[in-house]
């Protein structure tokens, strides 16, 4: 069976960093894209017209599984993904955007899409568990929602999963915890 991707090109396509809007069917994919550092908006309950209008206003391309949504926005870049499962959707994304996406791992909040900034360890003393404060030296915070992040074993698992799923697309990606 041949897989189709609906792409409607607009004047907004250029070499600027990808700015995405995932529709309600792609919430788990949106989280993975945010982990990769790709500016990805997602709202669980948003009607098609609002999603289209916000995408147009914010200069975002749309990722969807809904062919009807793709047809409603002929003036925007819309990609209708074929895969059902988030891991396969992430692989499909990598194939589609290999030449356009830049991975900046752990530079966006996985929850709200805000940018992540480094913060002083003293700032988090009362905001993280005591064991975490004692064992970790580097902390970051979402500038939008205030969520605090630190490098823990789950990051290693995430990086392993990304290497397995994305292969070359992921190799060499710079993380927010690189010391170089």
The tens digit of pLDDT for each residue in 3-38 reads 333 333 334 445 678 999 999 999 999 999 999 999
pLDDT in tens, 134-155: 999 999 999 999 999 998 878 8
Look at residues 4, 178, 22, 6 and name the one whose alpha carbon lies nearest to residue 113: 22
How many angstroms separate the most distant Cα atoms in the chain?
Answer: 56
What's the whole-model pTM score?
0.84
pLDDT at res. 99? 83
What is the share, in percent, of the chain residues with pLDDT greater than 70? Answer: 86
What mean pLDDT comes out for the span 57-70?
A: 94
Please report, for residues 5, 33, 104, 147, 157, the alpha-carbon distance to residue 94 in angstroms, rounded to integers and kept in the order given.
Answer: 13, 10, 14, 27, 19
Where are the domain boundaries for CATH 3.40.50 in the chain? 19-102
Tokens of 31: 């989280």
Cα–Cα distance for residue pair 18/174, rounded to 1 Å: 17
Tokens of 156: 């290693």
pLDDT in tens, 150-163: 988 788 888 888 88
Cα–Cα distance for residue pair 176/47, rounded to 1 Å: 34
CATH topology of domain 19-102: Rossmann fold (3.40.50)
């Amino acid at each position: 069976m041949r897989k189709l991707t609906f792409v409607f090109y607009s004047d907004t396509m250029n070499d600027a960093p990808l700015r995405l809007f995932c529709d309600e069917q792609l919430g788990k994919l949106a989280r993975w894209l945010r982990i990769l550092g790709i500016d990805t908006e997602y709202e669980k309950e948003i009607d098609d017209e609002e999603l289209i209008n916000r995408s147009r206003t914010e200069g975002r391309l749309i990722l969807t599984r809904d062919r009807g949504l793709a047809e409603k926005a002929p003036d925007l870049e819309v990609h209708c993904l074929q895969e059902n499962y988030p891991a396969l959707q992430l692989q499909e994304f990598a194939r589609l955007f290999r030449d356009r996406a830049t991975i900046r791992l752990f530079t966006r909040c996985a929850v709200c899409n805000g940018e992540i900034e480094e913060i002083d360890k003293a700032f988090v003393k009362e905001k993280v568990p005591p064991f975490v404060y004692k064992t970790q030296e580097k902390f970051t915070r979402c500038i939008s929602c205030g969520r605090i992040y630190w490098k823990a074993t789950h990051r290693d698992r995430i990086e392993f999963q990304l290497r397995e799923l994305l292969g070359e697309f992921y190799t060499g990606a710079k993380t927010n915890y690189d010391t170089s």
